[in-house]
Structure 1
Amino acid sequence: MPDMTHLGLDETALERLGGLWTAREIAQQPQMLRETQALLMARRAEIEAFLAPLLAQPNLRVILTGAGTSAFIGECLAPVLSTRLGRRVEAIPTTDLACAPQLYFEADTPTVLVSFGRSGNSPESVAAVELADRFVKSLHHLVITCNADGALARYGQGARGQTVLLPDATHDRSFAMTSSFSCMTYAALAVFGGIADRDARVSAIAHATQQVIGTHAATMKAVADEGYERVVYLGSHIFQGLARESGLKLLELTNGGLVTMFDSPLGFRHGPKTIVNDKTLVVVFLSNNAYTRGYDIDLIDELRRDRDAARVIAITAQDGVGLPVEDQVRIEGLEDADDADLLFPYIVAPQMFAFYESLRYKLTPDKPNTSGTVNRVVQGVRIHELS
């Protein structure tokens, strides 16, 4: 008989609380990562045939784009993919491309526009692909989306495009993006980093993600019940994008009830640290890279010496952070993994924390915005004509 509980609550209780879809979509991520890899393997030849001649161009530019959470995928991946490909890879949100295309598009630079979209219907995202076609002479579209019926999915099916459609279950029905974020991130990492190479690593990533859900759901609930008034997420390089996504999840699911911010451990000292008081929770994503990790640990040590923060929690795949066991979310099996592999088990702890905070605020996680002014697919955006 299938397990009918998610994040420690049965489906009947979750439905009553208005959080069934959010809990289910957080909990399904290990399986969705496996299914995403299987889908990519099935289409490997087609995807590689599309990208190979483009990546052979030494002056190729790759733009990773999306709106909101979909934009943060680019922030997480751009540094990694740029290094691996030896090409310009930039994260530019569609909300920037749509309002100032003349500042971002380069007419004479061959470009692959990688568009991420859960629904694929955000007005800015549709506008961005249309503007790119107008501004860039040699342009190709790679669309990574969860919705077969979205505008972006159809746009990527043109002669100069390719659409990677993810498993239908990743088209999250809850307000906040969770499994859509992780699976679109994974798909882009695999497509540009080697689909076959990922096949040998997906099991360890999915297992580690499941371990965090199974081991630390109760921990995240207990942390939420402590009643912090401010939450700060910190991460170096690619984890700064993850920190931004984590802060947004908390802001969305508490309907703005919690003050949140994100930064890098090094950047945090330059003013933003003034947010810390005795009602502040600080969460640090630690790098597996020894050099970078040194800076992460320095900041943790400083926060402990200051004694201003109510609590400091490390999300880490390695020990040796100087924090008590109860203040560590330890990731099993990825102690030697590349930091990019850690994106997936790392994000589920903040997602669970945001879910439990939503319940603590007596909101319905599947639809936390009580006024109806913020929607699952953005509304009220007018795209202006560009002469």
Structure 2
Amino acid sequence: MSELLTYNEEFLKSQNGYWTAKEICQQPRIWREAAANVDSKRSELDAWLTPILAQANLRIILTGAGTSAYVGEAIAPHLSQQSGRLFEAVSTTDIVSNAPQYLLKTIPTLLISYGRSGNSPESVAAVKLAEQVVDNCYHLVITCNPEGDLATNAEQQDNAFSLLMPEGTLDQSFAMTSSFTSMLVSTVAIFAPQTEQLEIAAQWAENFLDKNVDALKEQAKQPTQRLVFLGAGNLQGIAREAALKVLELTAGQVLSYFESPLGFRHGPKSLMDASTEVVFFSSSDSYTKLYDQDLLAELHRDDQALAITTLTKASFNHAEDIADVWAGLPYILYCQILAFFKSMQANITPDNPCPTGEVNRVVQGVTLYPLEMH
């Protein structure tokens, strides 16, 4: 009988954890498929994007809600650096509640919208608000659901392009895993492709799944009450997503926090105690690494944490460095697995950690109000 994350599939199904485990483990394959999918659509994408990107004062906003918002946070610094254009991550939840503060009427804007289902109320509303507020607006929709509102609406607009993620990324589980990383890979593949780096990232993840899952399962048995994720630059977006995965999959039983290594000293470090576990995302950038090492040394000197784990290439049994935007893929896989084990050990059902419905797979209960422009 086949296993996923050390558990046999029948047991996982009985514990309502099968889909979460399956969708975590399939990611290295999904990453390759997502990049290949972009390559297959390259001529269509280029034909649509080229005249838009030719506008000198074009603004590019990466947007989504929750995990979908963190896609943008995890790649915006890298895309800006690689392309020489400014990519901004602004959540749909911010746009919907404060559209005139985030959208500028006279500046041409490419809104890149992420959505697993494409049906979140804020996702659809943000597109409509951008149309209302911005004189010259374009929409690149990156979604896992061909039948979602984001995708179907985009197909009816001349100023929109819908890119669907590979089959299997419309997660059946509550928590976004494959959907998050596939949308991340696809966007980087569009604007700053690095096929060799992506392949190494997939190999890091496969190595971990083959050799390190048992050890992480043991580590997850620690009596952690707080989990802190630290990462700089692009890795801060990954840290934010990691913190959300722990919070979601443990139904809030393990409190989580994220910050940059430098930012952690400015107050948040107060939360450190003997029940706090730290996961530190090491940067491959030689300059950034200087600040990483300073804080790590400080945390070890303080000797307050229950445990400190530093993720590096060695954690994934690999000798080659990759840029942080790509290292973020195996890093988040590690954190998804950690959150999954914490969930199983707390007898929470990972596929539906909140069965009473206070939190839903697709957000509910949002009232949308018309925006009156003055």
Q: Is the 8 A contact 1:204 1:333 kept in 2?
A: no
1:355 to 304, 325, 340: 340
Partner of 1:165: 164
Change (3 A) 1:331 1:268: farther
Q: Deviations over 1:96-129 (max 9, x none)?
A: 0001100011111111000000000000010000
Deviation at 1:94, TM superposition (A): 0.1
Secondary structure at the residue paired with 2:212?
helix
Aligned length: 371
Cα gap change, 1:122 to 1:103, in 2 (>3 Å): same
Specify the alignment match of 1:322 in structure 2. Answer: none
**2-side partners of 1:370 and 1:342: how far apart?**
33
- Structure 1 residue aligned with 2:203, among 167, 189, 207? 207
Instruction: Show the counterpart of 2:107.
Output: 109
- The question of 1:285 aligning with 2:281 is answered yes
Measure, in 1, the Cα distance between the counterparts of 2:212 and 2:352.
24
Q: Which residue of 1 aligns with 2:354?
A: 369
Shift of the 267–108 alpha-carbon distance from structure 1 to 2, 3 Å rule, reads same
In structure 2, runs of 5+ residues without a counterpart are none
Shift, 1:346, TM fit? 1.1
What CA distance in whole angstroms lies between the structure 2 residues aligned with 1:285 and 1:99?
32
Deviations 1:274-295 (A, max 9, x none): 1110111011001000110111
Query: C-alpha distance in 2, partners of 1:134/1:151?
Result: 18
Q: TM-score, normalised by structure 2?
A: 0.97
Partner of 2:370: 385
Letter in 2 for 1:280: T
State whether structure 2 residue 263 is matched by structure 1 residue 267: yes
Partner Cα distance (1:165, 1:175) in 2: 20
Alpha carbons 1:109, 1:136 under 8 Å: kept: yes
Deviation of 1:331 after TM superposition, in Å, equals 5.2
Secondary structure at the residue paired with 1:13? helix
Shift of residue 4 of structure 1? 2.6
Does 2:318 align with 1:332? yes
- 2:328 is aligned to 343
| Structure 1 residue 250 corresponds to structure 2 residue 246 | yes
Q: CA deviation at 1:215?
A: 2.3
Structure-1 residue corresponding to 2:236:
240
- How far residue 333 of structure 1 moved from its aligned partner, in angstroms, is 4.6
Is contact 1:73-1:241 (8 Å) kept? Answer: yes
1:324 — aligned with what? none
Q: Distance in 2 between matches of 1:209 and 1:46?
A: 31
Distance 1:247 1:340 in 2: 18
Q: Indicate conservation of the 8 Å contact 1:213/1:349, yes or no.
A: no
Structure 1 vs Structure 2: percent identity of aligned residues? Answer: 44
Amino acid at match of 2:69: A
Spell out, residue by residue over 1:292-336, the C-alpha distance to the aligned partner (whole angstroms, 9 max, x if none). Answer: 011111111111111111111001126xxxxxxxxxx3452542x
Look up the match of 1:186.
185
* Partners of 1:147 and 1:153 within 8 A in 2: yes
Shift of residue 202, structure 1, vs aligned partner = 3.3
Kindly report which structure 2 residues correspond to 1:314-333, keeping only aligned pairs within 5 A, or say none. Answer: 314-317=310-313, 329-330=315-316, 332-333=318-319
1:7 aligns with 2:5: yes
* Pairwise CA distance, 1:254: 0.4
Query: Secondary structure of the equivalent of 2:77?
Result: helix
Distance between the aligned counterparts of 1:218 and 1:313, measured in 2? 16
* Structure-1 separation of matches of 2:26 and 2:34: 12
Counterpart in the other structure of 1:326: none
Cα deviation, residue 87, structure 1: 1.9
Distance 1:349 1:218 in 2: 12
* Structure-1-length-normalised TM-score: 0.93
CA, structure 1 residues 251+140, in 2 after alignment: closer, same or farther (shift >3 Å)? same
In structure 1, what is the equivalent of residue 41 of structure 2? Answer: 43
Report what 2:87 is aligned to: 89
Number of the residue aligned with 1:118: 116
2-side partners of 1:364 and 1:381: how far apart?
A: 26
Contact map agreement 2:139 2:161 (CA 8 A) in 1: yes
Give distance in 2, aligned partners of 1:200 and 1:382: 45
Report deviation, 1:176: 0.2
Alpha-carbon distance in 1 for matches of 2:233, 2:35: 25
Tell me the alpha carbon deviations over residues 111-149 of structure 1, each in whole angstroms, 9 at most, x when there is no partner.
100000000000001000000001111111000000000
Name the structure 1 match of 2:213.
217
- Matched residue, 2:24: 26
Tell me whether 337-346 or 101-110 shows the greater mean CA deviation.
337-346
Q: How far, CA to CA, are the matches of 1:297 and 1:7 in structure 2?
A: 31
Moved more, 340-349 or 92-101: 340-349
Cα deviation, residue 204, structure 1: 2.0
Superposition deviation, residue 55 in structure 1: 1.6
Once the two structures are TM-superposed, the CA of residue 203 in structure 1 deviates from its matched residue by 2.5
- Could you list the runs of 5+ residues in structure 1 that have no partner in the other structure? 319-328
> In angstroms, what is the RMSD of aligned CA positions?
1.3
Distance in 2 between residues matched to 1:241 and 1:217, nearest whole Å: 24
Residue 197 of structure 2 contacts residue 323 of structure 2 at CA under 8 Å; is this kept in 1?
A: no
- Aligned twin of 1:98: 96
| Superposition deviation, residue 216 in structure 1 | 2.3
Are 1:58 and 2:56 an aligned pair? yes
Out of 198-207 and 217-226, give the one that drifted further: 198-207
